[in-house]
Structure 1
Amino acid sequence: MNSQPTLDEVARIAGVSRATASRAINGGSRVSATAQRAVDEAVRSLGYVPNPAARSLVTRRTDSVAVIVPEPDERVFSDPFFAGTLRGVNRVLATRDLQLVLLLATPGAQGQRTIRYLSRGHVDGAVVVSHHKNDGLADHLAAIGLPCVFVGRPWNGAERVTYVDVDNVAGGREATRLLVERGATRIGTIAGPPDMTAAVDRLLGWREAMAAAGLPDDAVAIGDFTEASGEEAARELLDRHPDLDGIAVASDLMAAGALKVLAELGRQVPGDVAVVGYDDLGVAERTSPPLTTVRQSIDEMAERATRLLLEQLDQGRPGAMRVVIPPVLVRRDSA
């Protein structure tokens, strides 16, 4: 059996020192164009396979990127938002032969463990998604100098990091405006958690549209972006405001829960109560009736965030940039 070619053989055929051959193969600096061509040719002719550990020592790169999700496991694996995020990130990383590392950084000891892991250089950079007011991730990542991009505007430290977001204020406003245009006059909302910027922005958009229409904005219930919370919030909302004829919901999963409650109560959708959701990640097409919603293209957001992260890695320094994508209203049967 023939033995695998060695780095010494590559160096001998290329006519360079072993150290120069190592730098040329593993992406290090201080290699002339002539030496690089000679080493590349020697590698091809010998069929030499580089040692990943040696490459890491030269480049100080791990060839891996973390996706940080400060959410409990059950939500990550049940909400299509996260599947879309991981799909978008991995699609871009695959073009560069980079590995995705998923980190579930829930508050407390697990979150601190995640920060320690990141500060020890186990990944080259991070994409952060679904962050909360008190997780402090933007400040922590900026402090350790790890290249990172947020999917969604962070609560704190937004001026220090790069983020990609959808215009959630505009999205909440458009969803509510559609209900107003349908003739609804008693419009409520099921908002998301108040410690997340997306939820706060969508609620603000709802309030702006209600004010513009001269309608009261007292019919508010809060969920946590899950279907179960949508059901609970809808019961609370309809118990307090049984005259509602429109509901703007801050996520499609919560809207699916609201539709179940309306059906149980015998309220026709959209005849008695029109409903608009938010996301358009597959849930809206499967509800009964199919859900009018505001589309935020999470695949596109995740892909753009990952490309921005790779630009930071190529430039060798963290950056601070804001990218805001306009939302799109998708009309179906619920409104």
Structure 2
Amino acid sequence: MTDRQPTLDEVARRAGVSRGTVSRVINNAPHVSRAARQAVERAIKDLSYVPNVAARSLATQRSGAVVLAVSSDDQALFTNPFFAEVIVGVNAVLEETDLELLLILAASERGRSRLARVLQSRRADGVMLLALRENDPLAKVAAEGGVPVVHGGRSLGGSHQWYVDADNRDGARQAAEYLISTGRTRIATITGPLDMHVGVSRYLGFREALALARLGDERVAHGDFTEASGAAAMTHLLTEHPDLDAVLVASDEMAVGALGVLKERGRAVPGEIAVVGFDDVVTARHTHPTLTTVRQPIKALGREMIRMLLALIRGEQPTPLILPTELVIRESA
């Protein structure tokens, strides 16, 4: 005899069913045949298998919660279209469960302590993390919380086991290649934060496209995904590189700031300078001119993050997911 806890796979093999069927039986999900349910129940009894606490909580429909923790303390976050769409995606899936969503802004020590208290008191069954920077202490707090953790986006060190991300590098490459195909040769970029995987990936995609076309990639300014930083970066680029004829901006919010500066300076878009953003938030369809941008499936990002987290809570082992991006051509380029 051994005190080792049997695994979900061992239960599945004993019952002669798939791992997913075992999870559905444990969670009292519908669409499981009577024979399969009975086989799983016999295997559980024979092996003395005990589902983990979080999975049993879902199975018995006890009240519970999951956390969406964002590494930001900016109250403007609530008006940011990107985060709003992520939350809509998360909520769409949660409506099918009895779990509640807790939102924690956790860039500060106070915010991280709040998350730690929630996890230590077992008021949450899992955590989703967004907007993490390199070596972000929030990741450590979540990892020590004793619950499953899903990351929105990859880390620069590649240490996250479970994440959902968009193909940012390919999206930026598509955008730069499009600008080149329209005859633009003096192309600048406004990057996102380069201590975030998303910022680095979009910058690398830009550089790859220009390198293949044998064009210079020295026209660079940096932002932080806010409209104000986009305006400041565009001002810098016009000062340092007044001859530029296109700019790839690493977020639509920053592109709005860039468009404002170009209008103030009397630079015609796209006649003199083409502008491409990234994200395709609702704002991109209401700028003047409307914004050519790279669409990432933001609501799907939220949906897949919470689906992955629920799978982990049920004791499953999902795989990381990369969502495709798509160039959307409008008036600005």
Native 8 Å contact 2:151 2:160 kept in 1 = no
What secondary structure does 2:94 align onto?
A: helix
The alpha-carbon distance between structure 1 residues 70 and 62, as it changes in their structure 2 partners (threshold 3 A), is farther
Task: List per-residue Cα deviations over 1:73-125 (Å, max 9, x = no partner).
Answer: 32311210110011111110111121111111013332233223323311011
Q: In the alignment, what sits opposite 1:187?
A: 187
The alpha-carbon distance between structure 1 residues 107 and 134, as it changes in their structure 2 partners (threshold 3 A), is farther
Q: In the alignment, what sits opposite 1:325?
A: 323
> What is the distance in 2 between the residues matched to 1:197 and 1:113?
26
| CA shift for structure 1 position 126 | 1.2
Task: List per-residue Cα deviations over 1:282-301 (Å, max 9, x = no partner).
Answer: 01101110000000111001
Task: List per-residue Cα deviations over 1:218-250 (Å, max 9, x = no partner).
Answer: 111111111111111100011100000000000
Count of aligned pairs: 283
1:114 lines up with 2:112 in the alignment: no
| CA shift for structure 1 position 321 | 2.8
Q: In the alignment, what sits opposite 1:49?
A: none
| CA shift for structure 1 position 131 | 1.4
Query: 1:170-209 maps to which residues of 2 (within 5 A)?
Result: 170-209=170-209
| CA shift for structure 1 position 133 | 1.4
Native 8 Å contact 2:112 2:141 kept in 1 = no
Query: 1:1-335 maps to which residues of 2 (within 5 A)?
Result: 62-156=63-157, 158-315=158-315, 319=317, 321-335=319-333
The alpha-carbon distance between structure 1 residues 60 and 141, as it changes in their structure 2 partners (threshold 3 A), is farther
| CA shift for structure 1 position 59 | 6.6
> What is the distance in 2 between the residues matched to 1:283 and 1:90?
22
Aligned AA (2:97): R
> What is the distance in 1 between the residues matched to 2:141 and 2:112?
11
> What is the distance in 2 between the residues matched to 1:307 and 1:63?
16
What secondary structure does 2:190 align onto?
A: strand
| CA shift for structure 1 position 313 | 1.1
Task: List per-residue Cα deviations over 1:8-38 (Å, max 9, x = no partner).
Answer: xxxxxxxxxxxxxxxxxxx89xxxx9xxxxx
User: What value does the CA root-mean-square deviation take over the aligned residues?
Assistant: 2.5
Q: Which moved more, 1:110-119 or 1:257-266?
A: 110-119
What secondary structure does 1:293 align onto?
A: strand
| CA shift for structure 1 position 160 | 4.5
Native 8 Å contact 2:119 2:146 kept in 1 = no
What secondary structure does 1:71 align onto?
A: coil
Give the structure with higher Rg (CA): 1
| CA shift for structure 1 position 161 | 2.7
Structure 1, unmatched stretches of 5+, are 1-26, 34-54
TM-score between both structures, scaled by the size of structure 1: 0.79
Native 8 Å contact 1:276 1:291 kept in 2 = yes
TM-score between both structures, scaled by the size of structure 2: 0.79
Native 8 Å contact 1:68 1:126 kept in 2 = yes
What secondary structure does 1:329 align onto?
A: strand
- Identical amino acids, percent of aligned pairs: 46
Aligned AA (1:120): S
Q: In the alignment, what sits opposite 1:50?
A: none
Task: List per-residue Cα deviations over 1:180-223 (Å, max 9, x = no partner).
Answer: 11101100000011121111100010111111111111111111
Q: In the alignment, what sits opposite 1:45?
A: none
Aligned AA (1:325): L
Q: In the alignment, what sits opposite 2:9?
A: none
| CA shift for structure 1 position 277 | 0.2
